Amino acid sequence: MPMIIGLKPSPEQASIIRNELLRDFTLGEVPGFFLWKKDGIVSPNGLLHNTMYGDEQLKQGRKQTMAVIKANSEDVKLLARLMRAEAEGDGEQGMLLVGNVGVNRVLVDCLDFRDIRDINRMVFQNPGGFESTQKGYFYQRARESEIRLAQRVINGERIWPASNSLWFFRPVGDCPPTWYDQQNTGRFKAHCFFSPTGDDCPEVY
């Protein structure tokens, strides 16, 4: 992959670059960088670097990740319950994607999420929250495996197509190109994900 030198794209352009890289390799995140793939990583300023990370380096990097939002142990469990209730059928990666959306809603100060400043408010937002909170399964205790997944997204792990997403839903058929005027960024198994523009919500980029 050739090095792109001096590229300083807009937040939306940087997201497009990251998403294109990750269409074949959706693997995780390295601290200090948004996302990484088999043959390259994209840094926060949008520069593409030719860097190959070995598995051991990636494991070490994940351990060093700092939380991107405030969360105590009960917050982590609450997010874990939400991730399971919304996407258990999509497996671990599906639950991580839902977690990405939840963490993004806490991080941003835009659109429907201006007053969402913690995990509890995000989970129980009404209107505009999550349907699963109205069902009994959501209130079952989180498993340790689910808690570990929740901690990963709280620590900043971001996975396409939810890297910059604030919404998702489960369609009957194909993903629509937009949903309430928000752009579709991709699909994972049962769920379609949607992101705002950089102009409407720069914090999510």
Model confidence pLDDT, tens digit, residues 160-176? 999 999 999 999 999 99
**Among 58, 6, 68, 14, residue whose Cα is nearest residue 37:** 58
Strand 182-188 to strand 178-179: parallel, antiparallel, or no bridges (unpaired)?
A: antiparallel
Better pLDDT: 9 or 169? 169
* Amino acid 6: pLDDT: 41
58, pLDDT greater than 50: no
- Residue 104: both structure tokens together: 């993004």
Mean pLDDT, the chain, as a whole number?
A: 79
Q: In this predicted model, which residue has the larger pLDDT, 55 or 19?
A: 19
- Res. 60 pLDDT band, cuts 50 70 90: very low
Which strand ranges, in their side-by-side order, compose the sheet holding 35-37? 35-37, 40-42, 48-49
- Strands, sheet with 182-188, edge to edge from the N-terminal-most edge strand: 167-169, 191-195, 182-188, 178-179
The more confident residue out of 1 and 101 is: 101
Cα-to-chain-centroid distance, residue 106: 11
**Residues in Cβ contact with 201 at an 8 Å cutoff, skipping those fewer than 6 apart:** 108, 110, 111, 166
Average pLDDT of span 93-102: 98
Give pLDDT tens digits for 123-163. Answer: 999 988 899 999 999 999 999 999 999 999 999 999 999 99
Q: What is the pLDDT of residue 79?
A: 98
Cβ(84)–Cβ(142) under 8 Å?
Answer: yes
For the four alpha carbons of 49, 52, 55 and 59, in that order, the dihedral sign comes to negative
| pLDDT category of residue 39 using cuts at 50, 70 and 90 | very low
- Indicate if the pLDDT at residue 119 is higher than 80: yes
Name, in order, each residue with C-beta under 8 angstroms of 67's C-beta and a sequence gap of 6 or more.
154, 155, 156
- Predicted confidence at residue 75, as pLDDT, reads 97
Of 33-47, 82-96, 100-114, least confident by mean pLDDT is 33-47
Q: What is the pLDDT of residue 66?
A: 79
